[in-house]
Protein backbone atom coordinates (compact mmCIF):
# COMPACT_ATOMS: atom_id res chain seq x y z
CA UNK A 1 0.00 0.00 0.00
CA UNK A 2 2.72 2.39 0.98
CA UNK A 3 4.71 1.49 -2.08
CA UNK A 4 1.76 2.17 -4.39
CA UNK A 5 1.33 5.53 -2.78
CA UNK A 6 4.99 6.31 -3.46
CA UNK A 7 4.54 5.44 -7.12
CA UNK A 8 1.90 8.10 -7.53
CA UNK A 9 4.44 10.75 -6.63
CA UNK A 10 6.98 11.87 -9.19
CA UNK A 11 10.48 10.84 -7.99
CA UNK A 12 11.64 14.42 -8.45
CA UNK A 13 9.15 15.52 -5.80
CA UNK A 14 10.55 13.24 -3.11
CA UNK A 15 13.55 14.12 -1.00
CA UNK A 16 15.82 11.26 0.16
CA UNK A 17 14.56 11.79 3.68
CA UNK A 18 10.96 11.22 2.64
CA UNK A 19 11.92 8.07 0.79
CA UNK A 20 13.73 6.87 3.85
CA UNK A 21 10.82 7.62 6.14
CA UNK A 22 8.44 5.73 3.86
CA UNK A 23 10.86 2.83 3.90
CA UNK A 24 11.15 3.11 7.63
CA UNK A 25 7.41 2.79 7.90
CA UNK A 26 7.60 -0.15 5.54
CA UNK A 27 10.35 -1.67 7.66
CA UNK A 28 8.11 -1.47 10.71
CA UNK A 29 5.38 -3.26 8.78
CA UNK A 30 7.77 -5.77 7.24
CA UNK A 31 9.36 -6.64 10.55
CA UNK A 32 5.91 -7.35 11.90
CA UNK A 33 5.07 -9.54 8.94
CA UNK A 34 8.48 -11.22 9.04
CA UNK A 35 9.40 -9.95 5.57
CA UNK A 36 12.74 -8.61 6.65
CA UNK A 37 14.95 -5.67 5.85
CA UNK A 38 16.79 -7.14 2.87
CA UNK A 39 13.57 -8.40 1.30
CA UNK A 40 11.97 -5.00 1.75
CA UNK A 41 14.68 -3.44 -0.38
CA UNK A 42 15.65 -1.06 2.39
CA UNK A 43 19.30 -1.99 2.15
CA UNK A 44 21.37 -0.94 -0.81
CA UNK A 45 22.91 -3.95 -2.61
CA UNK A 46 26.33 -3.14 -1.27
CA UNK A 47 24.98 -2.95 2.26
CA UNK A 48 23.29 -6.33 1.84
CA UNK A 49 26.63 -7.78 0.61
CA UNK A 50 28.64 -6.33 3.46
CA UNK A 51 26.15 -7.36 6.11
CA UNK A 52 26.04 -10.81 4.54
CA UNK A 53 29.82 -10.86 5.01
CA UNK A 54 29.16 -10.36 8.71
CA UNK A 55 27.04 -13.50 8.59
CA UNK A 56 23.73 -11.61 8.55
CA UNK A 57 21.98 -13.34 5.73
CA UNK A 58 18.50 -11.91 5.76
CA UNK A 59 18.47 -9.24 8.47
CA UNK A 60 15.09 -10.65 9.35
CA UNK A 61 15.31 -9.61 12.91
CA UNK A 62 16.11 -5.91 12.71
CA UNK A 63 13.63 -4.16 14.92
CA UNK A 64 12.83 -0.58 15.65
CA UNK A 65 14.12 0.02 19.11
CA UNK A 66 11.92 1.22 21.91
CA UNK A 67 14.61 3.86 22.41
CA UNK A 68 14.06 5.53 19.03
CA UNK A 69 13.03 9.17 19.08
CA UNK A 70 10.40 10.89 17.00
CA UNK A 71 12.66 13.88 16.27
CA UNK A 72 12.96 14.87 12.65
CA UNK A 73 15.97 13.17 11.07
CA UNK A 74 19.03 15.13 10.00
CA UNK A 75 19.54 14.84 6.24
CA UNK A 76 21.66 11.87 5.11
CA UNK A 77 23.90 14.31 3.27
CA UNK A 78 24.61 16.29 6.46
CA UNK A 79 25.10 13.16 8.58
CA UNK A 80 27.74 11.93 6.12
CA UNK A 81 29.51 15.15 5.13
CA UNK A 82 29.63 17.19 8.35
CA UNK A 83 31.80 14.98 10.55
CA UNK A 84 34.34 14.95 13.31
CA UNK A 85 36.94 12.27 12.72
CA UNK A 86 40.35 13.76 13.44
CA UNK A 87 42.13 10.75 11.96
CA UNK A 88 40.98 12.21 8.64
CA UNK A 89 41.72 15.85 9.46
CA UNK A 90 40.35 18.46 11.82
CA UNK A 91 37.82 20.14 9.52
CA UNK A 92 34.21 18.96 9.28
CA UNK A 93 34.47 18.28 5.56
CA UNK A 94 37.76 16.39 5.42
CA UNK A 95 36.51 12.99 6.70
CA UNK A 96 33.99 12.71 3.85
CA UNK A 97 36.72 13.74 1.40
CA UNK A 98 39.49 11.42 2.60
CA UNK A 99 37.97 8.50 4.55
CA UNK A 100 37.54 6.38 1.39
CA UNK A 101 41.22 5.49 1.90
CA UNK A 102 40.28 3.47 4.99
CA UNK A 103 40.05 -0.25 4.30
CA UNK A 104 37.45 -1.52 6.76
CA UNK A 105 37.32 -5.13 5.56
CA UNK A 106 38.19 -7.50 7.12
CA UNK A 107 37.91 -6.16 10.65
CA UNK A 108 38.33 -7.62 14.09
CA UNK A 109 38.21 -6.28 17.61
CA UNK A 110 40.68 -7.33 20.26
CA UNK A 111 39.06 -7.84 23.65
CA UNK A 112 41.48 -7.84 26.58
CA UNK A 113 42.00 -6.96 30.23
CA UNK A 114 39.83 -8.19 33.11
CA UNK A 115 37.67 -10.50 31.06
CA UNK A 116 36.97 -14.25 30.99
CA UNK A 117 36.94 -14.52 27.20
CA UNK A 118 39.79 -12.38 25.84
CA UNK A 119 40.20 -12.88 22.10
CA UNK A 120 40.33 -11.21 18.75
CA UNK A 121 36.73 -11.24 17.55
CA UNK A 122 35.72 -10.98 13.90
CA UNK A 123 32.77 -8.73 13.25
CA UNK A 124 30.66 -11.75 12.34
CA UNK A 125 31.30 -13.18 15.83
CA UNK A 126 30.11 -9.95 17.40
CA UNK A 127 27.06 -8.92 15.41
CA UNK A 128 24.05 -11.17 15.64
CA UNK A 129 20.83 -10.68 13.73
CA UNK A 130 18.81 -11.27 16.83
CA UNK A 131 19.98 -8.12 18.54
CA UNK A 132 20.19 -5.75 15.54
CA UNK A 133 18.03 -2.70 16.00
CA UNK A 134 17.37 0.59 14.35
CA UNK A 135 17.69 3.43 16.84
CA UNK A 136 17.10 7.09 16.18
CA UNK A 137 19.37 9.00 18.52
CA UNK A 138 20.58 12.53 19.02
CA UNK A 139 24.29 13.16 18.69
CA UNK A 140 25.39 16.35 20.47
CA UNK A 141 28.85 17.74 19.83
CA UNK A 142 30.70 19.75 22.45
CA UNK A 143 30.95 22.40 19.72
CA UNK A 144 27.24 23.16 20.19
CA UNK A 145 25.68 21.47 17.19
CA UNK A 146 23.52 18.37 17.15
CA UNK A 147 22.05 15.85 14.72
CA UNK A 148 19.43 13.13 14.77
CA UNK A 149 20.68 9.93 13.17
CA UNK A 150 18.90 6.64 12.40
CA UNK A 151 21.58 4.16 13.46
CA UNK A 152 21.62 0.44 12.86
CA UNK A 153 23.41 -1.60 15.50
CA UNK A 154 23.12 -3.46 18.77
CA UNK A 155 23.51 -2.76 22.49
CA UNK A 156 27.11 -2.62 23.74
CA UNK A 157 25.88 -4.72 26.69
CA UNK A 158 25.33 -7.67 24.31
CA UNK A 159 29.02 -7.76 23.47
CA UNK A 160 30.06 -7.24 27.09
CA UNK A 161 27.89 -10.14 28.24
CA UNK A 162 29.45 -12.36 25.60
CA UNK A 163 33.05 -11.68 26.68
CA UNK A 164 32.26 -11.82 30.42
CA UNK A 165 34.22 -9.18 32.34
CA UNK A 166 35.49 -10.27 35.76
CA UNK A 167 34.60 -8.52 39.01
CA UNK A 168 37.83 -6.49 38.73
CA UNK A 169 36.56 -4.75 35.62
CA UNK A 170 35.28 -1.30 36.60
CA UNK A 171 35.77 0.53 33.30
CA UNK A 172 35.84 -0.16 29.59
CA UNK A 173 38.46 1.42 27.35
CA UNK A 174 37.97 1.66 23.58
CA UNK A 175 40.69 2.24 20.99
CA UNK A 176 40.42 3.35 17.35
CA UNK A 177 42.48 1.93 14.50
CA UNK A 178 45.97 3.38 14.11
CA UNK A 179 46.92 3.27 10.42
CA UNK A 180 48.55 6.53 9.30
CA UNK A 181 48.96 5.21 5.72
CA UNK A 182 45.17 5.31 5.41
CA UNK A 183 44.33 7.93 8.02
CA UNK A 184 46.27 10.97 6.98
CA UNK A 185 45.30 12.99 10.06
CA UNK A 186 47.38 10.58 12.16
CA UNK A 187 50.53 11.86 10.47
CA UNK A 188 50.13 15.01 12.52
CA UNK A 189 50.15 15.27 16.29
CA UNK A 190 46.82 17.04 16.81
CA UNK A 191 45.86 14.29 19.29
CA UNK A 192 47.80 11.47 20.93
CA UNK A 193 47.10 8.54 18.58
CA UNK A 194 45.45 6.12 18.65
CA UNK A 195 42.18 7.76 19.73
CA UNK A 196 41.04 6.36 23.09
CA UNK A 197 37.76 6.68 24.97
CA UNK A 198 36.27 5.09 28.06
CA UNK A 199 33.11 4.43 30.02
CA UNK A 200 32.38 3.30 33.54
CA UNK A 201 31.09 -0.28 33.54
CA UNK A 202 27.53 0.65 34.51
CA UNK A 203 27.45 3.27 31.74
CA UNK A 204 28.72 0.71 29.25
CA UNK A 205 26.04 -1.79 30.33
CA UNK A 206 23.26 0.77 30.03
CA UNK A 207 20.79 -0.22 27.28
CA UNK A 208 21.12 3.20 25.60
CA UNK A 209 24.84 2.63 24.87
CA UNK A 210 24.97 1.21 21.39
CA UNK A 211 27.48 -0.17 18.87
CA UNK A 212 26.52 1.09 15.42
CA UNK A 213 27.34 -0.74 12.19
CA UNK A 214 25.03 1.20 9.89
CA UNK A 215 22.94 4.33 9.43
CA UNK A 216 19.98 5.19 7.23
CA UNK A 217 19.62 1.47 6.47
CA UNK A 218 23.11 1.32 4.97
CA UNK A 219 26.54 0.13 6.05
CA UNK A 220 28.27 2.76 8.16
CA UNK A 221 30.14 5.13 5.82
CA UNK A 222 33.87 5.32 6.63
CA UNK A 223 33.59 8.94 7.75
CA UNK A 224 31.01 7.92 10.36
CA UNK A 225 33.29 5.28 11.89
CA UNK A 226 33.18 2.15 9.75
CA UNK A 227 32.81 -0.65 10.32
CA UNK A 228 31.81 -0.30 13.97
CA UNK A 229 31.57 2.67 16.32
CA UNK A 230 30.12 3.49 19.69
CA UNK A 231 27.09 5.75 20.22
CA UNK A 232 26.59 7.13 23.74
CA UNK A 233 23.60 9.42 23.24
CA UNK A 234 23.65 11.20 26.62
CA UNK A 235 27.30 12.26 26.31
CA UNK A 236 29.13 14.73 24.08
CA UNK A 237 29.92 13.36 20.63
CA UNK A 238 33.59 12.72 21.25
CA UNK A 239 32.74 9.83 23.60
CA UNK A 240 31.16 8.06 20.61
CA UNK A 241 34.44 6.58 19.38
CA UNK A 242 34.74 5.42 15.78
CA UNK A 243 36.37 2.49 13.95
CA UNK A 244 37.03 0.49 17.12
CA UNK A 245 39.80 -2.13 17.10
CA UNK A 246 40.26 -2.77 20.81
CA UNK A 247 38.08 -3.03 23.90
CA UNK A 248 39.89 -3.38 27.21
CA UNK A 249 38.33 -3.98 30.62
CA UNK A 250 40.22 -2.11 33.32
CA UNK A 251 40.24 -1.53 37.08
CA UNK A 252 41.39 2.07 36.62
CA UNK A 253 39.58 4.91 34.90
CA UNK A 254 40.90 5.18 31.32
CA UNK A 255 42.40 8.45 30.11
CA UNK A 256 40.67 9.47 26.89
CA UNK A 257 42.50 11.24 24.06
CA UNK A 258 40.58 14.47 24.61
CA UNK A 259 41.22 14.48 28.34
CA UNK A 260 44.89 13.83 27.67
CA UNK A 261 45.12 16.77 25.28
CA UNK A 262 43.06 19.28 27.33
CA UNK A 263 42.09 18.01 30.81
CA UNK A 264 40.44 21.29 31.81
CA UNK A 265 38.15 21.21 28.82
CA UNK A 266 37.26 17.54 28.46
CA UNK A 267 36.61 15.39 31.51
CA UNK A 268 36.07 11.66 31.72
CA UNK A 269 32.28 11.82 32.02
CA UNK A 270 31.45 14.48 29.43
CA UNK A 271 27.74 14.13 29.99
CA UNK A 272 25.70 16.65 28.03
CA UNK A 273 24.96 19.24 30.68
CA UNK A 274 23.62 22.75 29.97
CA UNK A 275 24.65 23.84 33.50
CA UNK A 276 28.34 23.12 33.05
CA UNK A 277 30.07 25.42 30.59
CA UNK A 278 32.99 24.48 28.44
CA UNK A 279 35.81 26.78 29.66
CA UNK A 280 35.67 28.70 26.38
CA UNK A 281 31.89 28.79 25.78
CA UNK A 282 28.45 28.11 27.22
CA UNK A 283 26.75 24.74 26.67
CA UNK A 284 23.22 26.07 27.19
CA UNK A 285 22.17 26.07 23.56
CA UNK A 286 22.79 24.09 20.44
CA UNK A 287 22.15 24.33 16.74
CA UNK A 288 20.42 21.31 15.26
CA UNK A 289 22.07 20.86 11.85
CA UNK A 290 19.56 21.97 9.24
CA UNK A 291 17.75 24.37 11.58
CA UNK A 292 18.21 28.10 11.83
CA UNK A 293 17.20 28.90 15.42
CA UNK A 294 19.15 27.50 18.33
CA UNK A 295 17.54 25.10 20.75
CA UNK A 296 17.94 24.86 24.49
CA UNK A 297 20.25 21.98 25.33
CA UNK A 298 18.58 19.33 27.48
CA UNK A 299 20.15 17.69 30.51
CA UNK A 300 21.83 14.43 29.45
CA UNK A 301 20.90 15.38 25.89
CA UNK A 302 17.24 14.66 26.72
CA UNK A 303 17.86 11.19 28.15
CA UNK A 304 17.76 12.23 31.83
CA UNK A 305 14.91 9.89 32.71
CA UNK A 306 16.98 6.96 31.53
CA UNK A 307 20.43 7.83 32.83
CA UNK A 308 20.28 10.40 35.66
CA UNK A 309 20.33 7.61 38.26
CA UNK A 310 23.85 6.64 37.15
CA UNK A 311 25.12 9.93 38.56
CA UNK A 312 23.08 10.48 41.71
CA UNK A 313 25.15 11.86 44.58
CA UNK A 314 27.85 12.95 42.12
CA UNK A 315 28.90 16.58 41.79
CA UNK A 316 28.60 16.98 38.02
CA UNK A 317 30.54 20.26 38.09
CA UNK A 318 33.50 18.36 39.49
CA UNK A 319 32.96 15.19 37.45
CA UNK A 320 32.34 16.91 34.12
Ligand X SMILES: Nc1nc2c(c(=O)[nH]1)N[C@H]1C(S)=C(S)[C@@H](COP(=O)(O)O)O[C@H]1N2
Instruction: Give min distance, CB of 113 to ligand X, in A.
Output: 20
Nearer Cβ to Mo ion (26/266): 266
Residue 113 to residues 116, 166, 169, 230, 252, Cα–Cα distance (Å): 9, 9, 8, 19, 11
* Closest distance to Mo ion from the beta carbon of 139 (Å): 8
Q: What is the x/- site pattern for ligand X, positions 291-320, by CB under 6 A?
A: ------------------------------
Cα gap 228→224, rounded to integer Å: 9
Of all helices (H) and strands (E), which one includes residue 2? Answer: helix 2-7
Angle, alpha carbons 172-111-189 (nearest 5°): 70
Give the three-state DSSP class for 141.
coil
| Interaction between residue 84 and Mo ion (CB under 5 A) | yes
- The piece of 91-99, 135-143, 258-266, 269-277 that touches Mo ion (CB under 5 A) is 135-143
Q: Least distance to Mo ion from the beta carbon of 228, Å?
A: 19
Residue of the chain from 155, 165, 237, 254 that contacts ligand X (CB under 6 A): 237
Choosing from 94, 146, 176, 301, the residue that interacts with ligand X (CB under 6 A) is: 176
Q: Residues 141, 172, 228, 307: which binds ligand X (CB under 6 A)?
A: 141
Q: Is 224 in the site for ligand X (CB under 6 A)?
A: yes
Binder among 84, 94, 273, 283 for ligand X (CB under 6 A)? 84
Least separation in angstroms between residue 236's CB and ligand X is: 7
Task: Calculate the dihedral angle through the C-alpha atoms of 113, 115, 120, 121, rounding to the nearest 10 degrees.
Answer: -140
Which backbone phi and psi does 151 adopt, to 5 degrees? -85, 155
Reference 44, options 210, 220, 212, 211; nearest CA is 220
- Find how far residue 300's CA is from the centre of its chain: 16
**Cα–Cα dist 113/268, whole Å:** 20
Residue pair 273/200 in contact (Cβ under 8 Å)? The answer is no
Closer residue to ligand X in complex, CB, 87/286: 87
Stretch 231-270: interaction string toward Mo ion, x if CB under 5 A: ------xx--------------------------------
Q: How far is the CB of 239 from Mo ion (least distance, A)?
A: 9
Q: DSSP readout, 105-128?
A: SS-EEEEEESBSS-EEEEHHHH--
| 259 belongs to the binding site for ligand X (CB under 6 A) | no
Chain residues in the site for Mo ion (CB under 5 A): 84, 141, 237-238
Chain residues in the site for ligand X (CB under 6 A): 83-87, 139, 141, 176, 195, 224-225, 237-238, 240-243
Amino acid sequence: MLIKKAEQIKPSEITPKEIYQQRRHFLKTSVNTGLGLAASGLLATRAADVFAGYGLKTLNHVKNSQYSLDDELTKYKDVTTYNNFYEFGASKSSPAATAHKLNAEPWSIKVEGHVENPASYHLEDIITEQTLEERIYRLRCVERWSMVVPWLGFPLAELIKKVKPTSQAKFVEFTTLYRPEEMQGQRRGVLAWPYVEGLRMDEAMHPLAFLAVGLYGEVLPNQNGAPIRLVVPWKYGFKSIKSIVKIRFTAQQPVSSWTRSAPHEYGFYSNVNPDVDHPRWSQRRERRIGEFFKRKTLMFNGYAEDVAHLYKNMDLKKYF
